[in-house]
Amino acid sequence: MKIILPIFLTVIYTAGLLLSGNVSKKLGLTVSDNSYVNGQVNYQIILLIIAGLSLLTTYLINKENFLTYFSFGQISAPGDELKLFGIKQGDSWLKTGLSLCVVITGITAIFMYFQLKKTDVDWTVLQGGIFWILLLSLTNSFGEEMIYRVGLVSPLKGLLTPTMIFLISAIIFGLAHINGMPSGIIGISLAGILGFVLAKSVLETQGFFWAWVIHFLQDVVIIGSLYLMNKNA
């Protein structure tokens, strides 16, 4: 039951997010002339509410582990080897985290650049949208890290092997992005790979600092690109 409960709750929270479209429309909060921003703000409200529920249930399931992982943790802690990302045994997460920030953000930026090339982009509109892009990236990355990393790593630590915890986080996080950018199986796979390494960072540093920072940078690129694509919306 201790293993099944946090996984079940995370799946429920994911279903809630995937089905939140109609609810976010009913909120109808208007903060900008851009409908994309308004839609995102309404969605982020729902995401943060669900993230709050996730944090509460995670705390109730295992208070001791929660108090450990609900922190920035040890940002220079040594990590275990992960050849896919070029991480060697004992590499400091300060080195690994900075490297992943550059590499993963760079790959995301290249992908989004080719998406932007398909549209008539006016880069000057970024000046007026940078506040919303940064704010939405902060809330989105924080909310998802609380649900898919802290909400799984914290209660499952000591009950499953690290690799199994990473895989569970990767699978559910991947499925949560079935309608993301990119969508479908490619989006699920890329989000799953990212979810795996972010869960690894949380477990090994005993905190969500690197997971949040890396995720935030990806969201800046993606949300910024979507803002440009919907500049006339």
Q: How confident is the model at residue 25 (pLDDT cuts 50, 70, 90)?
A: low
Contact between residue 17 and residue 146 where contact means Cβ atoms under 8 Å apart: no
51: nearest Cα among 6, 15, 20, 10: 10
pLDDT in tens, 175-231: 999 987 777 898 899 999 999 999 999 999 999 999 999 999 999 999 999 998 886
CA angle 78, 162, 71 (to 5 degrees): 60
How many separate domains does the chain show? 1
Q: Which residues contact 191 (CB under 8 A, 6 or more apart)?
A: 173, 174, 176, 177, 180
Q: What's 125's DSSP letter?
A: G
Output the pTM of the full model.
0.93
pLDDT in tens, 34-87: 788 988 999 999 999 999 999 999 999 999 999 999 999 999 999 999 988 889
Domain that holds residue 89: 4-229
